[in-house]
Amino acid sequence: MNTPQTLIRNFSIIAHIDHGKSTLADRLIQECGAVSEREMTAQIMDTMDIEKERGITIKAQSVRLTYPYKGQTYILNLIDTPGHVDFSYEVSRSLSSCEGALLVVDASQGVEAQTIANVYVAMENDLEILPVINKIDLPAADVAKVKEEIESTIGLDCSSALEVSAKTGIGIKELIERIIESIPPPSGDENAPTKALIYDSWFDNYLGALGLVRLKSGTLKVGQEVLMMSSGKKYEVLALYYPNPLHRISTQEIACGEIGIISLGLKSVTQMAVGDTITDSKIPTDLPIDGFRPAKPFVFAGIYPIETDKFEELRDALDKLKLNDSALSFEPETSIALGFGFRVGFLGLLHMEVVKERLEREFGLSLIATAPTVVYEVYLTDGSKVLVQNPAQLPETQKIDYMQEPYVRASIITPSEYLGNIITLLANRRGVQEKMDYLTQTRVMLVYALPSNEIVMDFYDKLKSCTKGYASFDYEPIGYRTGDLVRLDIRVAGEVVDALSIIVDRAKSYEKGRALVESMKEIVPRQLFEVAIQASVGSKIIARETIKAMGKNVTAKCYGGDITRKRKLLEKQKEGKKRLKAIGKVELPQEAFLAVLKIDS
C-alpha cells in the first residue's frame, strides 16, 4: 500500500565537521525505532572504519524512518550529507532530493565556513531550513550568542530555533515533531511519466551497482523497463528496496515523492552516474532533472607501489575502489625514480588521504604518493593549448607563450585575534582579498581569491596551526587566471628526479628551491663519493647543497715518516672517488619524496 505524499517528509542534515551530525542521525533513528536497541551502534550511518575513526562522513547515507504523530504514521526520509568541502558535489545532489534541511550548529563553536557554503546550496534549492542548536549540554555552550550569529551571518530567524543535545537525547522528540509540522511534503504527479533522480550510487558484491533515487513523478515497479537519460541505455528493474542502516527493506514499488534503492544488474557505478535521471522507456519524460554533471577531479597526484612488482595489484585495487567511488579517475604513468604507478585524480586533499588510506588498509599495499598538483592550461607559441597535471609533462620553456592556473574563492571564518596571522598566510600564498566582514565583535569572515596550487599542499594545516585550530575554511573553483609560473626541478648527482619536480610561481622559485635542497641534504644518505643536490629552473641552477663523501681513513697506517707518503695515499683515494662518481647511482629513500610535501613556505 502506497503512503500518500502528505505523510512523507524528505530532509537532510547540514553541518560543519564535528558539529554532531552523525550523532543526531543516531538519535533520530533510535527515537523512531528503525533499529533495535541491541543492534544500535554509534555513528550507525557511517559504514567505513575510516569514517568512525576520524569522526567524518565521507559517503552520504539515507534511512527511511516511520513515526506515529497525531493518529497518523509519517514516513521520514533522512538523507545524510558529508560535511567536508571535498564532497560538496554529493551535498548538492542530496539537497536537491529534499524539501527541508536541519541546519545543525554546535552551541560552543558557532557558525563555520562549511556550514555557510552548504546553507547557500540549500537556499538555492528552495528548502525549508530549520536551525538546530546542538550540544547544549556542554559547559562552554552559549546558545544566545550562536542564535545571534546565525541571524547575522545567514539571515535565518532563530527566535524558535530548536535546542537539542544529540548525545543525551534532550529535545529530539520535539525536533521530530517540528520536522513533521514545518517541512513541506513532496510535490509531484504520480500519474505523470516516471522521473527519478539518482543522488548516490555504490557497488554491492551480490547485486552490482545500486542507485539511491528520489522519485520526482510517476512510480517505479519491479520488472519495469527504464531508460538512463544521460547514456540513452535501457535496463529492466530487477529489485527495489527502502534504505535502512542495517538491512535494506525489499519492496515491489516506489511511489512518487519517496526515496528508494534501485537494482538494474549493472556491473559498474559509472553506468549509475550520480545526478542522472531515470525514466520509463516506453513513456519517457521530456526533460531530465537539471544540474547533472560528472564529478570533476580537482587535485592530481602520482601513486606508486613501494615494491615495484605490486603494480598489477595496485591497478586491481584502484579498479575495485572505483566501483564504490565514481569520483575517482586514474591513468598509468611511469617515473624514472619511482617506476610504474598511476596518476590519480581526487576531489580534494581529504579525498586523496582517504583513498590512499583505503588502498593501504583494504588491499594491503605499501604506497608512496607524489606532491599533489592541479591542472594548468599551457598556451603554446603555435597557438595551441595543452592541459598539464604532471610537472614532468610541461613543454620546453621556449615553446610556452603563457600559462594559466586554476583559482578558488576561499571563505575563512576566524576569531578576530588571529586575523593578522591569517592575512600574512594568505599574502604568502598570493591571495587577493575580495571582502572582510565582522560577523560579531569577535568573529571575522574573510573571502579571498587564491591560486589552487597554493592550497593543495599544506594550506589547511598551516591555517589550523596559526589559529590554534579555530579557523574554518571552505572553497569553490572560480576558473583560470594567467600566472608567471615555472617548473622547479631537483637534480641529484646531476640527474633530474622527475617525481620531485613542482610547478611554482617564478617569484617564489628561489626560496622554494633553497628550502627543498636543504631538506633533501638531511635526507639523502651519504655515499662514498660527493653528491651535489641542486634546484634548477630550466638550465639555470638556483640553489645547491653538497653531501660530503664518506671516506675510509687511508692514512691510518702512516705514523711518522715523510708527508709525501700520506699525500700519495690521499691522491689515490681521490682518483678512486672520481671513478665512483662517474658510475655511482644515488638511491633516494622514501622520505625524499615526502620532503616536497613538507617544505615550509
pLDDT in tens, 333-345: 887 667 788 888 8
Kindly give, in sequence order, each residue whose CB lies less than 8 Å from that of residue 73, ignoring residues fewer than 6 positions away. Answer: 7, 66, 67
| Nine-digit cell string for 282 | 516506453
| Structure confidence at residue 593 (pLDDT) | 64
| Structure confidence at residue 601 (pLDDT) | 43
pLDDT interval class at 294 (50, 70, 90)? low
Q: Mean pLDDT: which of 162-176, 243-257, 411-425, 575-589 is highest?
A: 411-425
| Structure confidence at residue 61 (pLDDT) | 66
| Nine-digit cell string for 177 | 515533531
With contact defined as beta carbons under 8 Å apart, do 361 and 353 qualify? Answer: no
Helix (H, G, I), strand (E, B) or coil at 165: strand
Lookup result for grid cell 525489499:
250
| Structure confidence at residue 218 (pLDDT) | 83
Q: Average pLDDT of 21-46?
A: 66
Say how many C-beta atoms besides its own lie within 10 A of residue 48's C-beta: 18
Does the pLDDT at position 452 exceed 80? yes
Q: How far is CA 208 from the centre of its chain?
A: 25
Does the pLDDT at position 418 exceed 50? yes
Q: Give 422's strand partners.
A: none
pLDDT interval class at 50 (50, 70, 90)? low
pLDDT interval class at 46 (50, 70, 90)? very low
Largest Cα–Cα separation, the chain: 111
Q: Average pLDDT of 451-478?
A: 76
Distance CA(20)–CA(115), nearest Å, equals: 13
Q: Average pLDDT of 87-116?
A: 75
Mean pLDDT of the chain: 78
| Structure confidence at residue 472 (pLDDT) | 73
pLDDT interval class at 482 (50, 70, 90)? confident
Element (H, E) at 417: none
Percent of the chain with pLDDT over 70: 83
Alpha helices in 331-439 (DSSP H): 349-363, 419-428
Does the pLDDT at position 293 exceed 80? no
Does the pLDDT at position 58 exceed 60? no
Handedness of CA 360, 364, 368, 374 (dihedral sign): negative
Q: Mean pLDDT: which of 88-102, 316-330, 424-438, 516-530 is highest?
A: 424-438
Candidate from 86-95, 179-188, 202-211 with smallest mean pLDDT = 86-95
| Structure confidence at residue 36 (pLDDT) | 58
| Structure confidence at residue 580 (pLDDT) | 55
Does the pLDDT at position 589 exceed 70? no
Percent of the chain with pLDDT over 90: 0
397 or 591: which leads in pLDDT: 397
